[in-house]
């Protein structure tokens, strides 16, 4: 056989090998070589699909899914605690490897379901609202928490506002949050979502400020842009209020638009609140919003998926990770503005 034929045969063999290699590469899933590709997780984002806060949690969880290879199914709950409980029951019935839950329904409502999930070998971990008694009870079984410390987040924001705006004894504050009707500080469950607002109240009252609590109606919880009547009614009831506190991420972002609609000027009220969004960035820029606590919900999504994956695959115990440690105002908003647009901050 002459050399030209030998060369041709070699080239053909190499071509066949190359085509086969490419075909194998194309047929393989991007997750095939990732460490947690066999871990199936049901993940609660909290709100509606695309809402200002839940979408950042989702972005973080999606990034973890892509980086780690975990198989994640997402659940949207409209920030409705009763719906979360029903969806948690459904999630357990699907028998995933792990469930990342929002703690909003509280420990009494979730304990029987968490017990059931653990009996079935399902890892459960919490985000956004802590379940401290359950977390401590089941930490060795992978139950952890990623999110803010609610009460401390409230005190942190209040202390920052008192210092930044030189608030004095006798200044009046209206705080809007999910406190229920006929709010009574002494009856608040110390593990409930309301504890963030209680942290604000306690800190401001300790400094001599007068604080009035206004409960969020369901319409505002579902769509914060409907909050103009709530705010208008509160301002009419408390005409000498100096500070408005939005203990609700979407309402914080909506406050600028609400006050504009009511004919108020930037700085007419000191507005503080929680959580970044593009609307909140705009409010900080135009002066309607003065100070915001950032609980970094991207990390709540990302690290919850990581924690659940680690606990399922390697049996690691649950971790407690406090993500709520930053304050944003007009002096530093530009450092995070682009990240807010990307649903990262």
Query: Could you report the per-residue pLDDT of 82-129, keeping only the tens digit for each?
Result: 999 999 999 999 999 999 999 999 999 999 999 999 999 999 999 999
Q: Let me know whether 141 and 159 are in one domain.
A: no
Q: Let me know whether 289 and 188 are in one domain.
A: yes
pLDDT at 18 over 70: no
pLDDT at 11 over 50: no
> What is the side-by-side order of every strand in the sheet holding 210-215?
210-215, 172-177, 243-246, 270-274, 291-294, 326-328
The residue range of the domain holding 316 is 40-148+296-325
Q: Let me know whether 183 and 222 are in one domain.
A: yes
Q: How many domains are there within the chain?
A: 2
Q: Let me know whether 212 and 234 are in one domain.
A: yes
Are 210 and 140 spatial neighbours (Cβ–Cβ below 8 Å)?
Answer: no
Asked whether residue 223 is assigned to any structural domain, the reply reads: yes
Asked whether residue 191 is assigned to any structural domain, the reply reads: yes
Query: Could you report the per-residue pLDDT of 170-217, keeping only the tens digit for each?
Result: 999 999 998 887 788 877 877 788 999 999 999 999 999 999 999 998
Dist. CA 49–CA 173, nearest whole Å: 32
Asked whether residue 263 is assigned to any structural domain, the reply reads: yes
Q: Let me know whether 249 and 311 are in one domain.
A: no
Indicate the pTM of the whole model.
0.85
Dist. CA 186–CA 122, nearest whole Å: 36
Asked whether residue 124 is assigned to any structural domain, the reply reads: yes
Q: Let me know whether 282 and 158 are in one domain.
A: yes
273: CATH: 3.40.50.2300
DSSP state of 227: G
């Amino acid at each position: 056989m002459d050399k030209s034929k030998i060369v041709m045969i070699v080239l053909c063999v190499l071509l066949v090998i190359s085509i086969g290699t490419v075909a194998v590469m194309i047929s393989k899933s991007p997750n095939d070589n990732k460490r947690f590709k066999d871990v199936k997780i049901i993940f609660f984002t909290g709100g509606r699909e695309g809402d200002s806060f839940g979408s950042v949690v989702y972005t973080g969880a999606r990034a973890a899914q892509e980086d780690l290879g975990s198989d994640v199914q997402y659940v949207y709950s409209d920030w409705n605690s009763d719906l979360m409980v029903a969806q948690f029951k459904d999630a357990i019935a699907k028998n995933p490897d792990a469930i990342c839950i929002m703690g909003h329904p509280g420990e009494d409502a979730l304990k029987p379901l968490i017990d059931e999930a653990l009996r079935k070998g399902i890892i459960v971990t919490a985000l956004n609202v802590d379940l401290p008694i359950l977390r401590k009870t089941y930490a060795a079984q992978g139950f952890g928490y990623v999110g803010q410390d609610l009460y401390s987040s409230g005190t942190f924001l209040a202390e920052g506002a008192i210092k930044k705006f030189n608030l004095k004894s006798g200044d009046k504050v209206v705080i809007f949050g999910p406190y229920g009707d006929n709010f009574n500080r002494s009856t608040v469950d110390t593990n409930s979502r309301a504890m963030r607002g209680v942290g604000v109240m306690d800190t401001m009252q300790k400094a001599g400020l007068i604080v009035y609590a206004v409960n969020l109606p369901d319409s505002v919880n579902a769509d914060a842009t409907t909050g103009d009547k709530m705010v208008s009614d509160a301002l009419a009831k408390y005409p000498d209020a100096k500070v408005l506190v939005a203990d609700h991420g979407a309402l914080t972002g909506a406050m600028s638009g609400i006050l504009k609609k009511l004919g108020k000027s930037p700085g007419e009220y000191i507005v503080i609140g929680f959580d970044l969004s593009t609307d909140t960035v705009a409010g900080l820029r135009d002066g309607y919003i003065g100070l915001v606590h950032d609980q970094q919900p991207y990390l709540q999504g990302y690290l919850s998926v990581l924690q659940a994956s680690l606990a399922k695959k390697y049996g690691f115990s649950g971790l407690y990770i406090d993500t709520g440690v930053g304050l944003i105002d007009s002096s530093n908003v530009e450092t995070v503005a682009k990240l807010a647009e990307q649903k990262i901050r």
